[in-house]
């Protein structure tokens, strides 16, 4: 089909000479005087391009015989025939929204010809070219749809985007979650042999459902060491108290058995986008793989190498349907179900840092029992944890309960005694506060600090590319993200009364905070952004919080705010009911150690367009 081109009819244009090249399809109108602009069959195109790149095509579809409209929606009469019916095929492509450059818009080119074999031949050739595009998924293991998240948007969004997956011939298995922990139990119990048959897993829900899927996958498949801890933290010298750990040198303890994931049991099993991760006792004994991928042959009895993370083949995806969808906004720039679905279909890939959170004690009087959890966006204590706990009393309010409970917790203005130690990052500047200089905030307009220019993470981010991505591990190689930490780390202690302690893994953008909690946080640079908010007068704290709602502002320049870019930190509190917020999920812990696991998972995303 290469060469001078074959004459086809193109909807909105008329007769065109079509040529198939190595990277796309090009066409030349034979009668340009009849009109140059057109309407696509799905929606308006900014301007009809004369070339279609294979990298922009998500599906090719052979259609039934029907009309093909010419310029100005006039019907084309084929070869002198009085009827306007033609054999047709559609090339489904994407274009970008003019107003929102991160948003992908599906549209189609409708071609027609009098000969059905010609249309069929074009479809076969174009499909073969598209199939040569690397990284596009063929089988998505499961699509977990949260039926109650975001006022029931989960099922509605899936019904809207499911035709895109069908059109692109991506095999999916849909599971409607029926209880808290359903997705976690399914993924934690699926065998590695079954997991290797698929390209990824997709969550149709909010950040909470994604957190559940993340922890289910990593429960027994992440073999990296526990986070480093400062000298004097106290647990590694006593093997009697930490039987599941062994000293690894740099105060890095490696679990000798699968870590137990325990969540604070709150509320009932009725859930929306905030779905607590619980061990329900209902085990899921594998999945019916024949229903997921009927063309895959069984190979019982064969030894399958274990699956570890990070790896370079398995990816996670999100169809945003929650209350905030911070992970999607931070990684794609758009809270749009269609855009996220298309990014999954095209197989876009970015590495994503994950925070490993190890709870050593749930309360000051509890026994030492290391419990591992993972967070993709944020881990927060104090104000952040209390808002989630308070919201459990108002589940009947839906997503509005977060605003209400946030106001209630804010008015209580509660602070907590705590000690925090973090690893110094020699290549960045921290912005620290002390208990003494908080009193200087009497004249707040003179208390703001100036910070250096931010480097915002975006598609093809140079900062994330500078750091080697540990996703190219062999099957039998156990990755260790702690290898990025120097042999003689310098720990810095900060203690006093804090309104909140938080660690942002990514920027955490959302509709209420357009720049996120930390605008300059990157997706895969191997760092956490530790935010320590010291006790301060209520009006100043309000001023600090309102700065998050203003695009271009900097809420981290107050003197009572400490901002540290670090790879790991340790937290100790004597409070009896200490709770953390991990991606919107409650986690009771008074002593934790946290580290950034660089590029631990791959996401179906490409980074936000700026």
Nearest to 577 by CA among 449, 444, 370, 414: 414
Residue 580 burial by CB count (10 A; 0-12/13-18/19+): exposed, middle or buried?
A: buried
Which helix (H) or strand (E) segment holds residue 190: the answer is none
Query: Among the options 185, 199, 207, 525, which is catalytic?
Result: 207
Q: Domain 6-31+48-72+82-132: which topology?
A: PH-domain like (2.30.29)
Start and end residues for every CATH 3.40.50.10330 domain found in the chain: 139-227+308-350
Name residues whose C-beta falls within 8 Å of residue 213's C-beta, 6 or more positions apart in sequence. 144, 183, 184, 187, 201, 203, 316
Name residues whose C-beta falls within 8 Å of residue 193's C-beta, 6 or more positions apart in sequence. 299, 302, 304
pLDDT for the residue 410 = 95
The Cα–Cα gap between 568 and 357 comes to 10
Two tokens, residue 583: 């991606």
User: For the chain, how far is it from start to end, CA to CA, in angstroms?
Assistant: 39
| Distance from chain centroid for Cα 74 | 45
Contact 342, 42 (CB under 8 A): no
Q: Write a three-state SS string for 389-416.
A: HHHHHHHHHCCHHHHHHHHHHHHHCCCE
Two tokens, residue 512: 């209420």
Task: Note the CATH number of domain 139-227+308-350.
Answer: 3.40.50.10330
Contact 563, 430 (CB under 8 A): yes
Q: Write a three-state SS string for 88-147.
A: EEEEEEEEECCCCCCCEEEEEEEEEECCHHHHHHHHHHHHHHHHCCCCCCCEEEEEEECC
The Cα–Cα gap between 243 and 235 comes to 11
Give the relative orientation of helices 400-412 and 383-391 as an angle to the nearest 10 degrees: 130
Contact 199, 229 (CB under 8 A): no
pLDDT for the residue 70 = 54
Q: Are strands 591-603 and 315-320 parallel, antiparallel or unpaired?
A: parallel
The Cα–Cα gap between 121 and 411 comes to 69
**Which residues share a beta bridge with 319?**
204
Q: How far is CA 250 from CA 35, 253, 492, in A?
A: 71, 8, 16
Start and end residues for every CATH 2.30.29.30 domain found in the chain: 6-31+48-72+82-132
Helices (H), 444-485: 462-466
pLDDT for the residue 300 = 47
Whether residue 207 lies in the annotated active site: yes
Reading phi first (left if > 0) and then psi (alpha if -120 to 50, else beta), residue 283 is in: beta
Contact 76, 107 (CB under 8 A): no
Residue 283 burial by CB count (10 A; 0-12/13-18/19+): exposed, middle or buried?
A: exposed
Start and end residues for every CATH 2.60.200.40 domain found in the chain: 352-427+490-599
Running along the chain, 610 residues long, what does each successive block of 10 average in pLDDT? 74 90 90 52 51 94 85 45 75 88 90 95 94 90 77 87 95 89 92 92 94 93 89 54 35 35 34 40 39 43 81 94 92 94 96 96 91 96 94 82 91 95 77 47 47 78 69 41 56 96 96 93 96 97 95 93 96 91 94 96 87
**Which residues share a beta bridge with 528?**
566
**Which residues share a beta bridge with 87?**
113
pTM: 0.83
Contact 77, 84 (CB under 8 A): yes
Which helix (H) or strand (E) segment holds residue 492: the answer is strand 491-504
pLDDT for the residue 337 = 95
The Cα–Cα gap between 464 and 486 comes to 20
Q: Taking the alpha carbons of 238, 239, 242, 245 in that order, is the dihedral positive or negative?
A: positive
Q: Taking the alpha carbons of 565, 571, 573, 579 in that order, is the dihedral positive or negative?
A: positive
| Distance from chain centroid for Cα 21 | 35
Task: Note the CATH number of domain 352-427+490-599.
Answer: 2.60.200.40
């Amino acid at each position: 089909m290469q060469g001078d081109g074959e004459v086809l009819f193109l909807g909105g244009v008329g007769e065109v000479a079509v040529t198939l090249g190595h990277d796309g399809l090009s066409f030349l109108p034979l009668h340009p005087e009849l009109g140059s602009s057109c309407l696509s069959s799905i929606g308006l195109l900014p301007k009809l391009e004369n070339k279609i790149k294979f990298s922009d095509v998500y599906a090719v579809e052979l259609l039934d015989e029907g009309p093909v409209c010419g310029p100005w929606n006039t019907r084309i009469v084929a070869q002198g025939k009085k009827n306007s019916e033609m054999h047709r095929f559609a090339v489904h492509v994407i274009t970008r929204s003019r107003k929102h450059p991160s948003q992908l818009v599906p549209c189609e080119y409708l071609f027609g010809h009098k000969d059905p074999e010609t249309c069929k031949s074009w479809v076969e050739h174009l499909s073969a070219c598209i199939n040569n595009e690397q990284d596009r998924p063929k089988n998505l293991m499961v699509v977990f749809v949260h039926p109650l998240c975001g006022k029931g948007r989960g099922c509605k969004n899936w019904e809207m985007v499911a035709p895109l997956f069908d059109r692109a011939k991506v095999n999916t298995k849909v599971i409607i979650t029926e209880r808290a922990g359903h997705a976690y139990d399914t993924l934690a119990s699926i065998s590695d042999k079954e997991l290797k048959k698929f390209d990824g897993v997709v969550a149709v829900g909010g950040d909470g459902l994604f957190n559940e899927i993340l922890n289910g996958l990593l429960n027994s498949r992440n073999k990296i060491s526990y986070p480093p801890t400062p000298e004097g933290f106290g647990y590694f010298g006593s093997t009697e108290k930490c039987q599941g750990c062994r000293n690894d040198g740099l105060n890095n303890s490696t679990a000798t058995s699968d870590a137990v994931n325990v969540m604070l049991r709150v509320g009932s099993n009725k859930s929306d986008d905030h779905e607590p991760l619980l061990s329900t006792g209902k085990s899921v004994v594998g999945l019916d793989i024949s229903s997921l991928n009927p063309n895959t042959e069984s190979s019982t009895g064969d030894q399958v190498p274990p699956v570890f993370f990070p790896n370079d083949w398995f990816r996670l995806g999100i169809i945003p349907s929650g209350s905030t969808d911070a992970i999607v906004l931070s990684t794609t720039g758009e809270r749009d179900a269609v855009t996220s679905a298309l990014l999954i279909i095209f197989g876009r890939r970015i590495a994503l840092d994950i925070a490993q959170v190890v709870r050593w004690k749930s309360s000051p009087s509890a026994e030492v029992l290391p419990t591992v959890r993972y967070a993709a966006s944020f881990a927060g204590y104090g104000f952040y944890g209390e808002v989630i706990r308070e919201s459990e009393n108002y589940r009947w309010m839906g997503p509005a309960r977060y605003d209400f409970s946030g106001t209630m917790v804010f008015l209580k203005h509660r602070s907590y005694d705590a000690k925090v130690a973090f690893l110094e990052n020699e290549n960045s500047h921290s912005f620290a506060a002390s208990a003494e200089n908080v009193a200087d905030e009497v004249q707040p307009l003179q208390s703001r600090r100036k910070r250096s220019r931010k480097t915002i993470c975006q598609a093809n981010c140079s900062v994330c590319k500078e750091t080697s991505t540990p996703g190219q591990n062999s099957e039998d190689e156990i990755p260790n993200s702690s290898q990025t930490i120097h042999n003689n780390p310098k720990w810095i202690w900060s203690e006093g009364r804090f309104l909140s302690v938080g660690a942002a893994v990514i920027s955490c953008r959302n509709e209420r905070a357009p720049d996120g909690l930390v605008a300059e946080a990157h997706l895969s640079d191997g760092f956490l952004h530790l935010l320590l908010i010291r006790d301060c007068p209520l009006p100043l704290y309000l001023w600090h919080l309102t700065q998050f709602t203003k695009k271009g502002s900097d809420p981290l320049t107050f003197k009572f705010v400490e901002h540290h870019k670090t790879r790991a930190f340790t937290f100790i509190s004597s409070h009896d009911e200490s709770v953390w917020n991990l991606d919107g999920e409650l986690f009771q812990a008074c002593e934790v150690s946290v580290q950034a696991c660089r590029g631990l998972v791959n996401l179906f995303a490409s980074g936000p367009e700026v």
